[in-house]
Structure formats: structure tokens, C-alpha cells
Amino acid sequence: RRTPLTLLSSSCFLLNRRQRLRLAAQQQLRRAP
């Protein structure tokens, strides 16, 4: 059986992007008074 490496990497990339966005949002919230 073949593992869709492109799909796996794309999903990993999306997950990383989402985490980064969430982290940035948290930082912005912390920065806000």
C-alpha cells in the first residue's frame, strides 16, 4: 500500500499554520490592555 506523502505533509503544514495563528492570537490578546 502507498502512503500519500504529499497529503500527509500538506496536513502537517496546515496544522503548523493553525498553531502559529493561534499562538499569534494569544500574543495579541496578552498585548492588549
Q: What is the pLDDT of residue 31?
A: 81
Q: What is the mean pLDDT of the chain?
A: 88
Q: What is the pLDDT of residue 26?
A: 92
Q: Between these two residues, 33 and 19, which has the higher pLDDT value?
A: 19
Give residue limits of the domains in the chain: 1-33
Task: Indicate if the pLDDT at residue 1 is higher than 90.
Answer: no
Average pLDDT over residues 9-32: 91
Task: Indicate if the pLDDT at residue 33 is higher than 80.
Answer: no
List, as one string, the DSSP characters of 1-33: ----HHHHHHHHHHHHHHHHHHHHHHHHHHH--
